[in-house]
């Protein structure tokens, strides 16, 4: 009997140690993406959500492909990796940020995640950067035009490269035909070269092209020339007022007002006054703010930036957005409220010209927080971003160009959202009605369980708690301590009273810190109203 008990104790200890190792590694070890494979061998520290993310598939599809009823996996387990859908494949590639942002702005994500099959001729970020300013303005300022252009890149059915070369044309979802030919050893789709083929998706296939293609009904229209230096434009045969407005990055209403027009009727030889574009029009005409404009649409800020102002915008270029980790940009685009906070952190009320900026040490933004301003090595720095161009005039303000996206101070809840590993915690906070409290002045110390920590709760527990706000609030407040308690201070404590009322037990052993039964796996994640320490288990208050 004693031998059996001894073996049982040893087995229990081994399992506990393994669980601790898996929990600690889960926060730091990212799974290797299964490029070109259909299976993946689980490693210590993996969790199902991270494997799904790394392979650009949904968690539901990964569960379904492997017959999993929960998220429990173990090292050595072989998982079938389903092929990502078209949107997932584009996200995973990393070179289609502008395309994905445009698809989101046009509301086409669900269509491209549908059963299909579809064939997508996908322009790269570099392809979008080649677009003329007038076309970019039309694309980003007019959802109907954007949808028309994007659906012109999609053909129904799964048309592989071997079949494409035998075609002379293909009808797009937009309704117009795409011309196809082989020229100099290259396959050309209209005026775009196909530079990569047969990228498989669960609901179709992607062929990569080096140029954005335009439907004949759009590209055949005569383009209005840019205004002369005197701000005037002479109407040519075939021009229309809307096309002249688009080409010069102004609204048709402003163009009518500037010329005293009561209708859209114009005639060849007529001289039109071209008003100065507003901030949105000026950015669209500059050609290197595609991501910023797409983000402004997703965040619902376009009308605000077209308002009377005046406003000063520190505008990050496409290259600045490209420096953000893909996961950060995707999280922002998926959370319009959080995205709006970031974008408004780039906007200062009033028209502040470069000569005035250099005399400032800080400026309060429309986000509510202030940016720091200093001159360093001959450059003007706004937080950690260098100003690379100044005084771009708009009718309702001025633009200064910066080389880095500046991120505002986030409260503990927004910090958790941006991290991406606390989706269940964030959902629970909102369900419990604690969002306002955790956005308060604080400061707070939050022991934050990861999604993997919540996934280890017994099946059905999370769902039941989300339906019981009182019980959920009781548990969540047990994870929050008043004050900003840094890691260096935590290790000196034996307990800490939580906002729930009861105290958590704190122990230091074997070089690690435990809060009740949870291991602290990351520390001192700073927020504007507190600090987050990451734990690998959900802790429950005493009954």
Q: Could you count the other beta carbons within 10 Å of the beta carbon of residue 191?
A: 13
Same domain flag for 30 and 124: no
If one counts the domains in the chain, the total is: 5
Same domain flag for 78 and 94: no
Residue 282 within any structural domain of the chain: no
CATH number at residue 215: 2.30.180.10
Contact 269, 235 (CB under 8 A): yes
CATH number at residue 264: 3.10.350.10
Please state, in angstroms and rounded to a whole number, the distance separating the CA atoms of residues 276 and 395. Answer: 5
Residue 226 within any structural domain of the chain: no
Same domain flag for 527 and 431: yes
Domain boundary among 376, 402, 428: 402
Residue 294 within any structural domain of the chain: no
Q: Which uninterrupted H or E stretch holds 507? A: strand 503-509
Q: How many residues does the chain have?
A: 543
Same domain flag for 375 and 462: no
* pLDDT for the residue 407: 93
Which residues form the domain of 59? 2-82
Please state, in angstroms and rounded to a whole number, the distance separating the CA atoms of residues 446 and 136. Answer: 44
* pLDDT for the residue 133: 55
Which residues are bridge partners to 534 per DSSP?
Answer: 448, 522
Residue 367 within any structural domain of the chain: yes
Residue 407 within any structural domain of the chain: no
Same domain flag for 317 and 376: yes
Same domain flag for 105 and 61: no
Within 13 Å of residue 100, how many CA atoms lie on the same side as its CB? Answer: 21
Residue 151 within any structural domain of the chain: yes
Same domain flag for 77 and 91: no
Same domain flag for 92 and 77: no
Walking along the chain (543 residues) 10 residues at a time, the average pLDDT comes out as 42 37 33 53 84 74 81 85 80 80 84 88 87 58 79 91 88 88 87 88 89 72 40 82 82 83 80 86 83 91 89 93 87 90 95 89 92 89 92 90 93 90 92 89 92 91 90 93 91 90 90 90 91 93 87
Strands (E) located in 160-299 = 169-171, 177-183, 186-189, 192-201, 204-209, 232-234, 271-273
Backbone angles phi, psi at 326, to 5 degrees: -55, -35
Domain boundary among 33, 50, 82: 82
Residue 112 within any structural domain of the chain: yes
Identify the three-state secondary structure at position 220. Answer: coil
Domain boundary among 62, 82, 102: 82
* pLDDT, tens digit (0-9, with 9 covering 90-100), for 113-153: 888 899 999 999 888 887 655 555 556 666 777 888 899 99
Which residues are bridge partners to 156 per DSSP?
Answer: 118
Same domain flag for 156 and 118: yes
Same domain flag for 426 and 355: no
Contact 403, 316 (CB under 8 A): yes
* pLDDT for the residue 11: 36
* pLDDT for the residue 223: 39
Same domain flag for 95 and 77: no
Contact 164, 180 (CB under 8 A): yes
Give Cβ neighbours of residue 540 (< 8 Å, ≥ 6 apart).
475, 478, 516
Same domain flag for 261 and 206: no
Please state, in angstroms and rounded to a whole number, the distance separating the CA atoms of residues 223 and 232. Answer: 16
* pLDDT, tens digit (0-9, with 9 covering 90-100), for 337-364: 999 999 999 999 999 998 888 889 999 9
* Among 543, 488, 472, CA closest to 520: 488
Residue 379 within any structural domain of the chain: yes
- pTM of the shown model: 0.56
Contact 512, 476 (CB under 8 A): no
Identify the three-state secondary structure at position 342. Answer: helix
């Amino acid at each position: 009997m004693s031998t059996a008990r001894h073996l049982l104790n040893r087995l229990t200890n081994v399992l506990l140690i393994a669980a601790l190792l898996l929990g600690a590694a889960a926060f730091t070890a990212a799974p290797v993406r299964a490029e070109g494979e259909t299976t993946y061998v689980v490693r210590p520290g993996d969790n199902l959500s991270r494997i799904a993310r790394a392979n650009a598939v949904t968690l539901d599809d990964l569960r379904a492909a492997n017959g999993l009823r929960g998220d429990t996996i173990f090292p050595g387990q072989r998982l079938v990796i389903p092929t990502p859908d078209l949107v997932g494949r584009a996200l995973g590639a990393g070179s289609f940020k502008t395309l994905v942002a445009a698809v989101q702005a046009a509301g086409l994500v669900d269509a491209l995640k549908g059963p299909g099959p579809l064939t997508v001729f996908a322009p790269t970020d570099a392809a979008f950067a080649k677009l003329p300013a007038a076309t970019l303005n039309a694309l980003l300022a007019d959802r109907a035009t954007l949808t028309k252009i994007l659906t012109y890149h999609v053909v129904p059915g799964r048309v592989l490269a071997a079949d494409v070369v035998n075609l002379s044309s293909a009808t797009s979802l937009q309704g117009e035909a795409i011309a196809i030919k082989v020229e100099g050893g290259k396959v050309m789709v209209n005026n775009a070269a196909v530079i990569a083929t047969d990228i498989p998706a669960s609901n179709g296939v992607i062929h990569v092209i080096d140029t954005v293609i335009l439907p004949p009904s759009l590209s055949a229209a005569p383009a209005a020339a840019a205004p002369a230096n005197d701000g005037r434009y002479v109407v040519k045969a075939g021009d229309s007022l809307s096309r002249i407005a688009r080409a010069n990055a102004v609204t048709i209403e402003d163009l009518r007002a500037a010329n005293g027009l009561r209708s859209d009727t114009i005639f060849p030889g007529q001289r039109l006054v071209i008003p100065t574009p507003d901030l949105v029009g000026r950015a669209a005409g500059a050609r290197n703010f595609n991501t910023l404009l797409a983000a402004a649409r997703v965040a619902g800020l376009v009308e605000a930036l077209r308002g009377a102002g005046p406003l000063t915008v520190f505008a990050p270029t496409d290259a600045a957005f490209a420096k953000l980790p893909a996961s950060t940009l995707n999280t922002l685009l998926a959370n319009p409220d959080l995205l709006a906070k970031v974008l408004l952190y780039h906007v200062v009320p009033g028209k502040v010209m470069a000569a005035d900026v250099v005399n400032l040490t800080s400026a309060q933004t429309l986000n509510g927080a202030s940016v720091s301003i200093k001159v360093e090595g001959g450059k003007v720095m706004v937080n950690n971003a260098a100003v690379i161009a100044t005084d771009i005039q708009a009718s309702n303000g001025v633009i200064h160009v910066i080389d880095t996206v500046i991120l505002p101070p986030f409260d503990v809840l927004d910090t958790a959202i941006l991290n991406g590993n606390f989706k269940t915690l964030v959902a629970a906070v909102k369900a419990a009605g604690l969002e306002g409290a955790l956005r308060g002045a604080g400061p707070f110390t939050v022991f934050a369980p990861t999604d993997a920590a919540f996934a280890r709760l017994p099946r059905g527990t999370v769902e039941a708690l989300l339906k019981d706000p009182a019980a959920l609030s009781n548990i969540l407040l047990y994870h929050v301590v008043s004050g900003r308690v840094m890691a260096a201070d935590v290790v000196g404590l034996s307990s800490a009273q939580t906002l729930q009322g009861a105290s958590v037990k704190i122990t230091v052993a074997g070089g690690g810190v435990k809060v009740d039964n949870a291991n602290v796996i990351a520390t001192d994640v700073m927020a504007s109203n507190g600090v987050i320490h990451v734990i690998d288990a959900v802790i429950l208050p005493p009954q």
